[in-house]
Chains A and B, each alone.
Chain A
């Protein structure tokens, strides 16, 4: 393609790969930037006022006190801002304002003097124009039928594309062949006025100056047909099919628009895949037609219905007019919240059209300093990639596979310019309610890159398919021609493999190196004095006894037990013994197995002995006085025991290991906990655990660590054992069976889940991606065996992974890229299975499109992972700076490259409006906070969680949800299996939102706080908590009494529903003003100022200061 040379200047200055390191900007100075700011003491002085629903400059109650010195605040909200706002004729209720970009002069003036005027505009027309002339004017009717669908079809069937009319047979292979036809078909009209449309509905500011001039124009149009995140409202339709010419005449004549849109794809897709002349596409074009059309982009959508400058071609293309309507109707979609009516209710083509307007919504400019209520009332859904609807429909579920940028930039330099990290977040082994499983003797894979066949491959004809990752053409095996679902022959594209982005194969024997291993569970228990004190053994043994039949496995399942203090105790459970036999090995320096084969026994055959042991174990060590712990040796022994088979090792540890190999010293200085200086000792003290973990990983052994300790345990070192063997870490600080019942309940519930959840053994996960993309770094618990292969001795349904990506080669000629994660594992039933997830994302080449596709939650999640790495390899303050800089850089980039109107304030696109908030939340999160006393283990555990938890749970730990729950109603409630679950709205995490008359629930992922106001409604106290008055609320209330009142049922239903959504058990803490947990509750009020950290508003001002520098 012709872009290459034009990009080179940018590439020359292309900076480092993304990462916190990418953003090398000035140090973060926590200086309260504005003098007029009046800090509101966060805790004590909150106002007993009902939450303010929107920011109003006036009332002194808000935490942004309006002060005369601050003109920003008194300014009317954005909508009114620029003088050039046109009368908004077409948008009935301009609720959320138009993006300022749209606030432009009316059409007439536009043509010559628009200040969006872009010197490059003439050229862009070229490709499409030239291209348009080429193909024969075929079948407009065909194109009319499904115009907005688009370019997918392009690479689907070159043959068809070059000769427009789709033979019926071809329809079989491609999901939307007509769309393709529309290209060639609509091209003839093209020359008249092609790509204007691109601008009509994407932001005018889109073209970054140094960009290849033609790029934005040729590609942007291609987005349009891709369109559809499901936000489009039906209203779009009402203006839809204007029957003929004049009435429909818009400022930008609709048909050409459609043409432009469609034709715009020409140079892109057809060039690469179809037989279209590349050179022509790249030629500079004769200016005039394009030149004066180039300005339409700046039309405010509202105007487009009102004037009819060039109405040349309209009468003939009613369908195309229909297609263009969404653009002209753009303002209406703006009023829709992102999660508006899905496409489901719309007819497919309508949905596809209306969805296109979501781009402006995502890019709507938000002045963060002025708009107070940015938090949506419901949890934010993942943004939908701009793909054609038929692709999007089958795309991978965002809960399983999610990208930080739903539109992939075309080049690394573009990515660097956007200053946002590119990466994937995976939850590959998530429990799914519906998962197609395929049993087949041959699994169809690409012969060169070994990609599994997936919905995004293209079938060239019945016998050949083209890989969507490496573009190799493969044969369709004979077997694949038969479709077991429909029992028909000759329809390979209807096979479940090609219909589902998430699928599981039962693997034949080629996928096994050895016979599938049995499920093997080994429990390694600390029985030193300290451990017995905590009383965890009772809970453990009881839980295991209760759930022993639910342990996943088959008739081959094996279990074993090892206990240790200063010596290692093995248990001979061989069949035939009357009672378990304990074997003690006291030579911990050179550990050996006392008997080779009866320590791990078949669970079914020896169940009674196992149960005996579990019953006697807690009493066995009741009187022990041994205080030392030889964890290292116990682990070595356990490794020896498990290494012939592989399996899962569950280690329960209650103190710092202080004997034998792997002994650790206490490194924490309690006086330094709150120090604002750098936190030391985040990295392991010894590599013993890491090396052992690697050995375990080699023998398919995973180690799960349960740390129940009240003192420092050096999780940073111990955690390595799980981290590199793909285990998980559970941490219960201050666990005690009497003093801390909340932790006990939590431990019980977690243990139950742990014992009964699904498990995959001897697993590997490979992540493949389209040629040109490559994997930069992985985050999570695993050992990286090769650049794209993770070794996971065990995989569990609660493990999340993150992957940083980089773009190695330009993705010029691609419209979409795909990522495939394939997880090969042995199920607990001894089956070898492969779970394949495939994600397809569009490629874009303008910064505005990249910003429009940004997924703020995923970005925050990935940044958190990167920051954890950074704080371990460099320092915590480095990581904090890097996060702040990430926010600064991306907003700066947005301001400089995407926005055309420079207005004061801190501007962010709507899709990133929560970015600063999440960054601030991260800075105040346990992992990264400074100045607040945080125990080292707590901090390290929080870091583990950030890296290991799937995004949905990690987000709660970053930014907890706050609900008011004393006035729950059934209005808008969900109904799940005959339970009514009220849905209160999310509140901002600010003391300002609290009120003394109410009760609030804060859901912080692993813990929930129920905060009761001093003057709380007595009704709530009696009906829900079962106490007569505020004063009688008990101090240690960890569960809600089961009262038979409507309020109680609602509250419990809501809390239960929140708990059901996650695999771990969040304990509930009811707190009053005097309660010991109050501090941790208040620390989660991240929008407020604390002694050591900025408030949200101060943070925004800090960002603004840095950006305008």
Chain B
């Protein structure tokens, strides 16, 4: 899942520091830097698809008149919209600013956000599964 990848990307960013042995490649700063920027880019690339997929799901629920499920998803949808509106000034689509992502507060926030969403998606996955099986069985 997207969010999982996102979390892994952030975790890598953070643990990279925690694990001093990896860290000490000052000898090849450029290589390390490229790696680092790639990670940020991965995170950047993951955000929009995640939002789109979630939006798509919501639309599908709306079409299927699954009001309850839609209600459960609306807060997250709203959050996504808000989050995207209040993103830092940037010309390309994306959410994370490579110059501030290393700030401890922001990194921690992003990680926490990732974990929360992971939990939400996981729960809703099982809920959808349950719903699907229930429908299959009852029909």
Asked whether, in the complex, the Cβ of B28 is within 8 Å of the Cβ of A450, the reply is: no
> How far is B91's CA from A688's CA once the two chains are assembled, in angstroms?
7
Do A776 and B105 have beta carbons less than 8 Å apart? yes
Interface size on B, residues (CB 8 A): 29
Q: Is the CB of B91 within 8 A of A698?
A: no
Which of chain A's residues has its CB closest to B107's CB? A787
Q: Which residues of A lie under 8 Å from residue B127 when comparing CB positions? A: none
Whether B104 pairs with A806 at a CB distance below 8 angstroms is: yes
B59-77 residues with Cβ-Cβ distance < 8 A to A are: none
- Which of B20, B31, B107 touches A470 (beta carbons < 8 Å)? B20
A775 at the interface (CB under 8 A from B): yes
Query: Which has the most chain A C-beta neighbours within 10 Å: B16, B27, B88?
Result: B27
A753 within 8 A of B: no
Indicate if A448 sits at the interface (CB-CB under 8 A): yes
Residue of B nearest to A806 (CB): B104
Cβ contact within 8 Å between B30 and A777: no
From B16, B27, B31, B107, contact of A511 by CB (8 A): B27
Contacts of A776 in B (CB 8 A): 103-105
Nearest B residue (CB) for A685? B89
Q: Tell yes or no: A783 within 8 A of B by CB.
A: yes
A 385-402 contacts with B by CB, 8 A: none
B-contact 0/1 string along A769-795, CB 8 Å cutoff: 000001111100001111111010000
**A450-B20, A694-B98, A784-B99 in contact; A774/B26 too (CB < 8 A)?**
no
A513 engages B24 (CB within 8 Å): no
Determine if A683 and B89 form an interchain contact, defined as CB atoms under 8 angstroms apart: yes
CB contact between B30 and one of A17, A513, A686, A787 (< 8 Å): that residue? A513
Q: Which residue of A lies closest to B102 (CB)?
A: A784
Q: Is A747 an interface residue (CB 8 A)?
A: no
Report if B45 contacts A (CB, 8 A): no
- Is there contact, CB below 8 Å, between A510 and B17? no
Q: Does A556 sit at the interface, judged by CB under 8 A?
A: no
- Of B29, B89, B91, B105, which one neighbours A777 at CB under 8 angstroms? B105
Interface presence of A463 (CB below 8 A): no
Task: Find chain A residues with CB under 8 A from B31 CB.
Answer: 513
Please judge, given known A-B contacts A513-B30, A684-B89, whether A777 and B20 are in contact too, CB under 8 Å.
no
Chain B residues whose C-beta falls within 8 Å of the C-beta of A789 in the assembled complex? 26, 29, 32
Interface residues of A in 665-710 (CB under 8 A from B): 683-688, 690-691, 694, 698
- A449-B27 in contact (CB<8A): no
- A764 in the interface (beta carbon within 8 A): yes
Q: CB of A928 within 8 A of chain B?
A: no
Which B residues are CB-close (under 8 A) to A448?
20-21
Residues of B within 8 A of A774 (CB): 17, 104
Instruction: Give min CB distance, A933 to chain B, whole Å.
Output: 27
B20 partner, pick from A21, A449, A685, A775, beta carbons under 8 A: A449
Q: Which residues of A contact B91 (CB under 8 A)?
A: 686-688, 691
What B residues does A334 contact at CB under 8 A? none
Report the bound CA distance from A813 to B42 in whole Å.
Answer: 40
Number of interface residues of A (CB under 8 A): 40
CB within 8 A of A787: which of B17, B32, B89, B90?
Answer: B17
B124 within 8 A of A: no
A766 at the interface (CB under 8 A from B): yes
Bound state CA distance, A470 and B23, in angstroms? Answer: 14
Interchain nearest-CB distance for B107 vs A (Å): 8
Q: State the CA gap A17–B103 with chains docked (Å).
A: 12
| Residue A906 CB within 8 A of the other chain | no
Are A764 and B36 neighbours in the complex by a CB distance under 8 Å? no
The docked-state distance in angstroms from the alpha carbon of A755 to that of B85 is: 44
Cα-based distance from A785 to B99 in the complex (angstroms): 8
* Neighbouring A residues of B16 by C-beta, 8 Å: 786-787
Inter-chain contact B26/A787, CB cutoff 8 Å: no
Contact B89 A698 (CB under 8 A): no
Q: Which residues of B contact A775 (CB under 8 A)?
A: 104
**Binary B-proximity of A309-344 (CB < 8 A = 1, otherwise 0):** 000000000000000000000000000000000000
> Once bound together, how far apart are the Cα atoms of A1010 and B30, in whole Å?
50
- B28 and A513 contact, CB distance less than 8 A: yes
Q: Does A505 contact B (CB under 8 A)?
A: no
Task: List the A residue with the shortest CB-CB distance to B25.
Answer: A450
Residue of A nearest to B91 (CB): A687
Interface membership of A824, Cβ < 8 A: yes
**Is A690 a contact of B32 with CB atoms below 8 Å?**
no
Q: CB of A1099 within 8 A of chain B?
A: no
If A17-B104, A774-B104, A776-B105 touch, whether A766 touches B99 (CB-CB below 8 Å) is no
Complex Cα gap A513–B32 (Å):
11
Interface residues in B32-89 by Cβ distance below 8 A to A read 32-33, 36-37, 88-89
Given contacts A450-B26, A764-B29, A785-B36, 6 further A-B contacts (CB under 8 A): A513-B30, A685-B89, A785-B29, A787-B104, A789-B29, A791-B29
Which B residues have a C-beta under 8 Å from some C-beta of A?
13-14, 16-17, 20-21, 23-24, 26-33, 36-37, 88-91, 98-99, 102-105, 107
The 24 listed contacts between A and B (C-beta, < 8 Å) are A17-B104, A448-B20, A450-B24, A687-B88, A698-B33, A764-B26, A764-B29, A766-B26, A777-B105, A783-B99, A784-B99, A785-B29, A785-B32, A786-B13, A786-B16, A786-B32, A786-B36, A787-B13, A787-B16, A787-B104, A788-B23, A791-B33, A804-B104, A824-B26
- Name A residues whose Cβ lies closer than 8 Å to a Cβ of B: 17, 19, 21, 448-450, 470, 510-511, 513, 683-688, 690-691, 694, 698, 724, 764, 766, 774-778, 783-789, 791, 804, 806, 822, 824
